[in-house]
Amino acid sequence: MATSDLEGPAVRADIWPSLPLEAWQDTYATLHMWTQIVGKIRLVQTPWFNHSWHVTFEVTPRGLRTPPIPHGTRTFQMEFDFVDHQLVIQDSDADQRSIALRPCAVADFYSEIMATLRELRLPVHIHTKPNEIEAPIPFEQDHVHAAYDPDYANRLWRILLQADRVLKTFRARFGGKSSPVHFFWGSFDLAVTRFSGRPAPPHPGGVPNLPDWVTRDAYSHEVSSAGFWPGGGPIPYPAFYSYAYPEPPGFKDARVRPESAFYSGALREFFLPYDAVRQAESPDDMLLEFFQSTYEAAATLGGWDRPSLERPVSTTGRATGHVERSA
């Protein structure tokens, strides 16, 4: 049983807080644009990795952070701190600047970031049109999105902490090629992806305001992907998800667990509502059951070489083969 499952209901409500979409959708939309600005800064400064893994953020004990970003012979990183509510920029010359996270138009936030980077002698030029959304507004022109509720930003971070932890447990069960657990600012979700090792048919593309070649690189090989998403569109609430590309025949009809999981024909993914997880007796066990059963459906129906790709799991739920340190 996971540590979080040993806590009482009151403590668990703090660990797995509620996140009703309608209560923070304006903050969500603004924060999405803010993370895209920072993500695009990393994008233009970092060599291209397969599947766009060079653009992502990682969950930290305080928020979301870029890994180190090269700038000539120097390096810097940027972190959204959802505890003290600031964007922290640190460089390899031991300089640091902070920008307050507060109600602020995207255009003003963009201008402040760029001015701060110039002050640190780290000038960067990015493409200012947001990706993966309909009707994007260039950052320097966006005075529409200007909301920031620190309570809900903090709630999102606390959920990401738990999702990150459980997804890493799930990732450890796989011995084949797998992505890190990382946050994509374009789609605004936390994800981990497993690969069969076989090439996939070219993806049809069609993601709003994202070049098709980027999508085809992301899905160049067969995958089973799972993660957490705050919701939107046909899923108007936060949820965990799992999908396969290419989707094997019979996948949508597969019997997955738990009972509250379902397949969305509109998005071609399985979803597990976040509220079902946060209210469960054992959120960790429910999540791992969902991730495992949907992966098994994708891998079995897709004809993956499961014996060579998977790592045995002990009775504690941990992948075997790890090294224990004795006291």
Q: What is the pLDDT of residues 190-213, one digit of tens each?
A: 999 999 999 999 999 999 999 999
Q: What are phi and psi of 97, to 5 degrees?
A: -135, 155
d(CA 323, CA 306): 23
pLDDT of residue 326: 40
Region 105-114: mean pLDDT is 98
Band (320; pLDDT cuts 50, 70, 90): low
The torsion defined by the Cα of 239, 240, 246 and 248, in degrees rounded to 10, comes to -100
Band (319; pLDDT cuts 50, 70, 90): low
- Cα 297 to the center of its chain, rounded Å: 22
Of 122, 56, 58, 111, the closest CA to residue 89 belongs to 122
The whole-model pTM stands at 0.93
- At 257, is the secondary structure helix, strand, or coil? coil
Q: Is there a contact between 61 and 81 (Cβ–Cβ < 8 Å)?
A: no
Q: Is there a contact between 179 and 58 (Cβ–Cβ < 8 Å)?
A: no
Residue with tokens 């920029």: 89
Beta bridge partners of 218: none
Tell me: the pLDDT tens digits for 22-43?
999 999 999 999 999 999 999 9
Q: Is there a contact between 163 and 227 (Cβ–Cβ < 8 Å)?
A: yes
Kindly report which listed range (89-103, 205-219, 308-322) carries the lowest average pLDDT score.
308-322
What is the separation, in whole angstroms, between the first and last Cα of the chain?
Answer: 22
Band (263; pLDDT cuts 50, 70, 90): very high
d(CA 33, CA 142): 9
Whole-angstrom Cα Rg for the chain: 20
- Exposure pattern of 214-244 as b/e (b: 16+ CB <10 Å)? bbeebbbbbbbbbbbbbbbeebebbbbbbbb
Region 104-125: mean pLDDT is 98
Residue with tokens 């403590």: 11
Tokens encoding 88: 């922290």
Band (101; pLDDT cuts 50, 70, 90): very high
- pLDDT for 56 beyond 60: yes
d(CA 155, CA 149): 10
* Residue that wins the pLDDT comparison between 77 and 314: 77
pLDDT of residue 314: 61
Q: Helix, strand, coil: what percent of the chain each, to 5?
A: 35, 20, 40
DSSP secondary structure of 51-102: GGTTS-BEE-SSEEE---EEETTEEEEEEEETTTTEEEEEETTS-EEEEE-S
- At 213, is the secondary structure helix, strand, or coil? helix
- pLDDT for 90 beyond 50: yes
Mean pLDDT, the chain, integer: 94
d(CA 269, CA 153): 26
Q: What are phi and psi of 237, to 5 degrees?
A: -165, 160
d(CA 208, CA 203): 14
Give the whole-number percent of the chain exceeding pLDDT 70.
92
- pLDDT for 324 beyond 70: no
Q: Is there a contact between 217 and 292 (Cβ–Cβ < 8 Å)?
A: no
- pLDDT for 289 beyond 50: yes
